[in-house]
Structure 1
Amino acid sequence: MQDCLTDWFLETCARQPERTAVVCREESLTYAGLAAEARALAAELLRRGVAPGDLVGVRVARSIDVPVAILGIMLAGAAYVPLDPGYPAERLRFIVDEAGIGLVVGEDVPARGHPAAPDAVLPRVAASDRAYVIYTSGSSGRPKGCVVTHHNVLSLLRAALPLFDVGPDDRWTQFHSINFDVSVWEMWGPLVTGGTVVVVDADAAYDPELFLDLLLDRRVTVLLQVPAVFRLVAEAHVEAGRPRHALRYVVFAGEAVDLETAAAFVAGQPGDVRLVNMYGPTETTVYATFKLLDEEALSGRTNRSPIGHALGHLSITLRDADGVEVPAGEAGEMWISGAGVCGGYLRRDDLTAERFVTSDGVRHYRTGDLARRLPGGDLEFLGRADRQVKLRGFRIELAEIEGALRRCDGVRDAAVEVVSGREVGDYLAAYLVAEEGATDVVGRARAGCERTLPPHMLPATYTVLPAIPLTPSGKVDRSALAARR
């Protein structure tokens, strides 16, 4: 059994060195070519002083550089930290400083183009070694880095891949930013089963019509999508006359599935496309549940947000605020235990102790997500127990955005809510209280947020109020805010 992700990839490479491993626009690499580029990068990183266990930043554009960079860093015995080029400089500086990153692939060293290194002695990587650290939104206003090991990811792959009929003939899209951990499944799913990674370039990623063309032209068979984005792709498909596609699987994750859109997409379609809904926080390594969306599930008659059962390497219990398991059929917070639960947060022992708890000798991650277990064992997702939200696949702490707004010039107080729009879907709405005498508060707040927050955390609308409305108990009156829009 493989000890690390790179071992599994190299075993696949040895079986089929000349098959296409990755493609983006007109560029492609075979498995042998990808392995050679990654080995050369690993040798260069070692030459520059990277040591096993180090954290190395990755800041590359959507291209075949993505898998090269990740594989190269892992072959050097290090772990990667995504640094999305679209994130504000201040946020990237925070991540680099806190993670102690000394080298960034894509800035200090290119991903490709290094001399071949056939004689390079690469370090041995253990299952317990870190594979990556992905930073997520923090309720304190400080992003937190989830530390994930090779063992965590290997456990996911071994538990989840047998639920899919995939192999060397499949072509998977790499659609998501590597700052979003669905990208882990998008890359390793094909690379350990002999398939092809189809990296979605920036133009196609932000244009549903171009993305649909890519799906059709590349004959993509496995597509992973956040429901809000898939809705746009499905609309483009209808507008194009519902052309025949090669999709075999569409996997939803990141937010509550849109059953109506999913059902309409497969209605009357030739072929055998299977729709799957999966749920999971970054702290439990990408996915924690699996649900095949059959006709009954798509109807939504008994379960409006079906996330299915726990994957085989995990266990999910539903508990009340005191950590006591709730009776069957009642709502409770999902506590997840098992091989996918990560080691905690980088240099955040206090937060790790708060969210990762041991009960009856078993270590759990407290998700903050509510669910109900239905007759038959399926879980129904019910939303957040706190003010953390998921929007277009990204987990967002509204308190972090509120903190950023309060630090803006001219802003005395702020509140943020998620608003549902009929045509544009869910979006973030900011409510501001201006300091006395302040001018252009909206412009200052918008500019301040753009300097410090990543794009997915930027409010779409700003409303200036004389005061943030409060309930008699002193909490923000959310219903009153909704009335001010």
Structure 2
Amino acid sequence: MGKNSDILSVLQRICQTYPDHSAVVEDDVKTLTYQQLWQQSLRVAEYVKRQGGDCPFVGLNLPKSASYIVGMIGCWMAGKAFVPIGTDLPPARQSDIIHHADISLCLDADIYDHAMSYPMSTTISPCLPHHKAYMIYSSGTTGTPKGILVSHAGLCNLAQCQQQGFAVDSHSRYLFFLSVNFDASISDILVTLTSGATLVIESMPQERLASTLFDVIENRKVTHTDIPPSLLRLMSPEHCPSCLQTIVIGGEPADIDTVRRWSRKVRLVNVYGPTEATVCTSMCRCDDQWDAPLLGDVLDHTHYSVYADGKFDVAEGELWISGIGLAIGYYKNEELTSKKFPVIDGVRYYRTSDHVRMTKDNQLMFVGRIDRQVKYHGQLIELEEIEHTLRINKNVRNVAVVKRKTDSANDKEAIVAFIQLMNKDIVQSDVERQLRQCCKHHLPKWMMPTFFVFVDHMPQTPSGKTDLHALSVMPMSRTVCEENHRYISEEEETIANMMADILKLQAMGPNDDFYLLGGDSLDTILLLSKLQQHHITITPAELRQASTPRQLARIQVRHRSMCIHSSQLEDQWQLSCSPAITTSVTTTKKPDVVLITGATGFLGSHLLSEIFRNLVPERVICLVRCPSSAAGLERVRDTYHKYGLDLKDTARLEIVCGDISKPYLGLAEDAYKKLSEEVSAVYHCAASVNMLANYDQLKDANVIGTRNIIELCMRGRRKQ
């Protein structure tokens, strides 16, 4: 793999070299070998060729999953560039991206499943260096996200350099932690797959994954992962599983103490690079002498220049990047492309707007930004885009958004919106509620202002512009009014005290919102942990929906009301037993008629495949919830295609339309009796799996359904 390599040729060679090696493992349940990864990508490629039209882009509206990886590679095979459209983005933002890129085909979960029924493409489009590879949307100053269009030119170079820098090989297991909205996720995918390594995916919410990260790493035998420095700060190297060898950090400066502590435990690599230069342009192996945010060693075929006052190669100034990884530019924005990608003396550069300085050891270190772009939670944000969104409200006269330190004891930084209203009679709380709703509709969550501060007048500079520096140091003191400080339960007060402790606030009222007062994803992890220690069980999803002490206390009360005492459960179990069950026929040594439930799921479909391969019964009956046998067979076929299985032996396969949660499995009494007398073995795989559902919601499928299957086994012919 070198400078001029084709990323698909590299992946194809890896798939041929390691066909049976695990390429992607999702939730330790779904595994794709490299051969299956390649074959499923060919199915997506065929679908995209037939349905993609003339648009050069295909949207990937898929969560972090094996399907996302297959979709990405399939787009390249079809000669298309992919555009990540995260399922967690607000609908309005998804719509803006689709409209701006003129996307006619968007792969979501349903379309992806349909694509798996297509034949494998027999041809693969070449990925030449100048061809479009992907487009990532980032914050834009006009209120519209800007599309950064990246070619294939730098992908192989990036993967090869990171393989060496991270020490990734075919024995590595790389945890895919970052969001698909973050371009660094692309390099995590490529450095893994071009090494013949295994990409480990956990689909749980990121807050939950972060809070159980060490458990996941140990259980999945993870050797490499890429995580934000702010999360690494909360983790103790003393408790790190021994299997973890390398941690990659980037996106924001890491604090010195965290870097020093962790560099003694693992290979800690700090990466730097803008989206406009194919994810990463330099890397630095950290050690216990780390004392500054160094950019590190530049990747092959990449060059750094420091520019100031019309001169290059000065000691301090703006970082300019040149080399094979530079993006094509900003889609549909030639003016901005010309400004940010100037050509000087025949060399094309990207102006990063990053302020850097040369150290005494001739190392470049990051100093800060030279424009109004800021890094927040690892994401590059245009503050002007937030301002543009807030100006939509007719009650707003003027607005300014800054990233600044709050007045809380933890000296935390936050995005703060200063609002000047049209007149003083407008109710500020009403406007704040409207503005938050507007932001929620138009902006991704990492761009949401933490605080709204209402001012009578905006401070101005001598030239008449808004004085942003004055706003960044303006006091932001906050008090809790007496009315809001009255708790109606001890649990409310306990939760409020925990929140105040985490946010470093003097006090919190029962109706104060954890997130509106500055709580972020890392604070969420801490709060959930503290709640658990006090035997208050709240899920991340519940906390996102109910984030005040009073709301959480009510949820806890509701949880208790839904709990069932073991004695009550015992009564239910005793009552559910049928009094008259007979068995009249002795078992056979080898089952000739097999009944399987759950064949349209992951486990059931693989089990069905093994039954045909190893047991070779005369008949296999699949109990499927479906309107007709034909529809049921189609569901089984679709599942087989989805998981790369081959359903050949349909002559011995029989579909029975039924429902395990209903009496007689949803069958007529004579059909049920016939089934009980014919079947000699039962494989029960059907279940409802939902971590957020309560007992009552799961009971019909999982408890009643299992009881009904047991009753079937005890009637008619004796069964295995």
Aligned partner letter, 1:147: L
In structure 2, the CA distance between the partners of 1:111 and 1:189, relative to structure 1 (3 Å rule), is farther
Which residue does 1:40 correspond to in 2?
A: 43
CA distance in 2, matches of 1:80, 1:119: 18
Which residue does 1:470 correspond to in 2?
A: 460
The 5-angstrom pairing of residues 57-96 of structure 1 reads: 57-96=59-98
The 5-angstrom pairing of residues 36-435 of structure 1 reads: 36-50=39-53, 54-106=56-108, 109-110=111-112, 114-115=116-117, 117-118=119-120, 120-232=122-234, 234=235, 237=236, 242-267=239-264, 269=265, 273-297=266-290, 300=291, 304-320=292-308, 322-325=309-312, 327-328=314-315, 331-420=316-405, 423=410, 425-435=412-422
The answer to whether the 8 Å contact 2:24/2:201 transfers is yes
In structure 2, the CA distance between the partners of 1:144 and 1:212, relative to structure 1 (3 Å rule), is same
CA distance in 2, matches of 1:479, 1:63: 43
Alpha-carbon distance, 1:275 to partner = 0.9
Alpha-carbon distance, 1:216 to partner = 2.0
Give 1 or 2 for the bigger CA radius of gyration.
2
Q: Give me the TM-score of the superposition, normalised by structure 1.
A: 0.91
Aligned partner letter, 1:288: T
Aligned partner letter, 1:295: D
The answer to whether the 8 Å contact 1:307/1:381 transfers is yes
The answer to whether the 8 Å contact 1:136/1:144 transfers is yes
SS in 1 for 2:259: helix
Aligned partner letter, 2:273: G
Which residue does 2:447 correspond to in 1?
A: 457
Unaligned runs of 5+ in 2: 477-720
Which residue does 1:446 correspond to in 2?
A: 436
Alpha-carbon distance, 1:4 to partner = 2.6
In structure 2, the CA distance between the partners of 1:45 and 1:166, relative to structure 1 (3 Å rule), is same
The answer to whether the 8 Å contact 1:252/1:277 transfers is yes
Alpha-carbon distance, 1:253 to partner = 0.9
Alpha-carbon distance, 1:315 to partner = 0.6
Which residue does 2:635 correspond to in 1?
A: none
CA distance in 2, matches of 1:470, 1:368: 25
The answer to whether the 8 Å contact 2:42/2:121 transfers is no
Deviations 1:339-383 (A, max 9, x none): 111111111101100100011210000000010112332111001
Q: Give me the TM-score of the superposition, normalised by structure 2.
A: 0.62
SS in 2 for 1:87: coil
In structure 2, the CA distance between the partners of 1:59 and 1:119, relative to structure 1 (3 Å rule), is closer
Aligned partner letter, 2:286: L
The answer to whether the 8 Å contact 1:402/1:416 transfers is yes
Q: Which has the higher strand share?
A: 1
SS in 2 for 1:117: coil
In structure 2, the CA distance between the partners of 1:206 and 1:458, relative to structure 1 (3 Å rule), is farther
In structure 2, the CA distance between the partners of 1:206 and 1:324, relative to structure 1 (3 Å rule), is farther
Deviations 1:197-247 (A, max 9, x none): 112323245542223321221121111122123223x1xx47xx7143322
SS in 1 for 2:439: helix
Deviations 1:376-425 (A, max 9, x none): 32111001011101112111011111111111242221111213466594
SS in 2 for 1:109: helix
SS in 2 for 1:156: helix
Residue 483 (1) aligns with residue 491 (2): no
Larger RCO, structures 1/2 (Cα 8 Å, 6+ apart): 1
Question: Which segment is superposed worse, 351-360 or 429-438?
Answer: 429-438
CA distance in 1, matches of 2:327, 2:213: 33
The answer to whether the 8 Å contact 1:337/1:364 transfers is yes
CA distance in 2, matches of 1:124, 1:265: 42
Aligned partner letter, 1:465: V
Aligned partner letter, 2:434: R
Aligned partner letter, 1:263: R
In structure 2, the CA distance between the partners of 1:180 and 1:360, relative to structure 1 (3 Å rule), is same
Which residue does 1:28 correspond to in 2?
A: 31
Of all paired residues, the percent bearing the same amino acid is: 32
CA distance in 1, matches of 2:329, 2:36: 35
- Residue correspondences, number: 467
Alpha-carbon distance, 1:430 to partner = 1.3
SS in 1 for 2:75: helix
Which residue does 1:16 correspond to in 2?
A: 18
Alpha-carbon distance, 1:113 to partner = 6.0
CA distance in 2, matches of 1:29, 1:425: 42
SS in 2 for 1:110: helix
CA distance in 2, matches of 1:354, 1:327: 21
Deviations 1:107-133 (A, max 9, x none): 672157613624633333323211100
The answer to whether the 8 Å contact 1:205/1:211 transfers is no
In structure 2, the CA distance between the partners of 1:252 and 1:420, relative to structure 1 (3 Å rule), is farther
- RMSD between superposed Cα atoms in Å: 2.1
Alpha-carbon distance, 1:185 to partner = 0.9
The answer to whether the 8 Å contact 1:249/1:274 transfers is yes
Alpha-carbon distance, 1:255 to partner = 1.0
CA distance in 1, matches of 2:231, 2:335: 35
SS in 2 for 1:193: coil
Alpha-carbon distance, 1:46 to partner = 1.4
CA distance in 2, matches of 1:180, 1:250: 17
The answer to whether the 8 Å contact 1:319/1:332 transfers is yes
